[in-house]
Structure 1
């Protein structure tokens, strides 16, 4: 069994599709980040375990999910129906492949847009710039910051990631690379999200995310 951490802020409309697509062997753990649309009730009604993370922030929700997870390997993915849970077995297999030669692995889903409006140009540009900055600092060759990922729970917690906002995914990869983890990507479909986007669908959201991630990079510089 693998716990799947689903950070959630007002995703009541998307959750039924996401939870219905959860494959066998993967257990959804919805982290409700102070939603006001009844997301927690929807998640519970569709059989998911719900954990409350009252302090707003993507990183805060991810961290609360990791603390609540109970399996050796965990996955993390967005709960807005932009990513298909049916891809999770491939991601877990990629993690196993990375670790086959020994050491700790981090498997990331590289987003491949499918459908009009799946990944707005401003968001894609911001992601590309940040990925290049990360690669320069960490010695990685990544194309995406990977909103779908798989790793070992205890190892993730041991990284000591401090950011509790949008910089959390980037700091995780940066710390993992500096700790000598084997990091790899697989292609995953990236669909138009359900509902109103809080981040990539708006210019303001993208600016906030880029600002948080640039702060993480600046703090991590020698």
Structure 2
């Protein structure tokens, strides 16, 4: 499928974007959402041929939602702009939509901090036991049909967006599939979430509100 937009929510990822954009699959369109960057993120993305929009409302969910609204393709993928995941894995997720409503990536490899791995494991287990979702990761990379995603009305505009998406998908009776994707250390900068214990605590708090 070639009618695919890759939404890349970014805040201060100028150092990583060249490598990420160079790996976007042929025929896919890159849409970078600049979420209040103070570095050269937008200019770097534009110079490399990506479409750039700016979302002033802070938060991961705000950036992703703005990208979904702006996209015009049948299918959208969401991928972090930090270089930790390989855009070349996206066609596998897109192909899975032949039999599923939502395809999410399970990160393999990398070296996430212990506090981030523990938070992810606890929340993923909750999704499996309470919502019967076959997932072991919170969907840092995903593929989904754009209109179906908009109709799902994911409202979280902070870190809880990917978790709320999964919960709402379960409640809507969606078929969710999880595939292994490669995962490496970010190529530049520091993670806004897993880069500190405080960032992880805030994210887990956002996540847990969704699960209540």
TM over 0.5, shorter chain: yes
Q: What is the aligned counterpart of 1:16 among 15, 18, 24?
A: 18
TM-score by length of 2: 0.96
Q: Distance in 2 between matches of 1:15 and 1:141?
A: 31
Counterpart among 67, 70, 74 of residue 69 in structure 2: 67
2:30 match: secondary structure: strand
Q: Deviations over 1:81-129 (max 9, x none)?
A: 000101111111122232xxxxxx1000000024xxx311110110010
Residue of structure 1 equivalent to 2:208: 214
Deviation for aligned residue 1:69: 0.4
Alignment deviations for residues 130-149 of structure 1 (CA, whole Å, 9 cap, x no partner) = 11112222121211111110
The equivalent residue for 1:102 is none
3-state DSSP class of the match of 2:13? coil
Instruction: Tell me the secondary structure at the aligned position of residue 67 of structure 1.
Output: helix
Q: Where does structure 1 lack aligned partners over 5 or more consecutive residues? A: 99-104
Pair 1:203 & 2:197 matched: yes
- CA displacement, residues 151-203 of structure 1 (integer Å, 9 cap, x when unaligned): 00011011111110000000001001110110011100111012211111211
Structure 2 contact 134–176 (Cα < 8 Å) conserved: no
Q: What is the RMSD computed on CA atoms of the aligned residues? A: 0.9
Name 2:46's counterpart in structure 1.
44
Question: Tell me, what secondary structure is at the counterpart of 1:216?
Answer: helix
Q: Secondary structure at the match of 1:196?
A: coil
Partner of 1:109: 105
- Partner of 1:7, secondary structure, is strand
SS of residue matched to 1:96: coil
Mind listing any 5+ residue stretches in structure 2 that lack a counterpart?
Answer: none
Q: Could you say which residue in structure 2 is the equivalent of 1:130? A: 123
* 1:21-72 per-position Cα deviation (integer Å, ceiling 9, x unaligned): 1110211100000100010011001100001101100000000000000001
TM-score by length of 1: 0.92
CA distance in 1, matches of 2:200, 2:146: 28
Aligned counterparts of 2:135 and 2:182: Cα–Cα separation in 1: 17
Task: Work out which of the residue numbers 43, 46, 55 in structure 1 matches 2:57.
Answer: 55
Indicate the SS of the match to 1:36.
coil
The 1-side partners of 2:202 and 2:109 are apart by 22
Residues 139-154 of structure 1: pairs in structure 2 closer than 5 A = 139-154=132-147
Q: Which residue of 1 aligns with 2:83?
A: 81
Does structure 1 residue 162 correspond to structure 2 residue 155?
Answer: yes
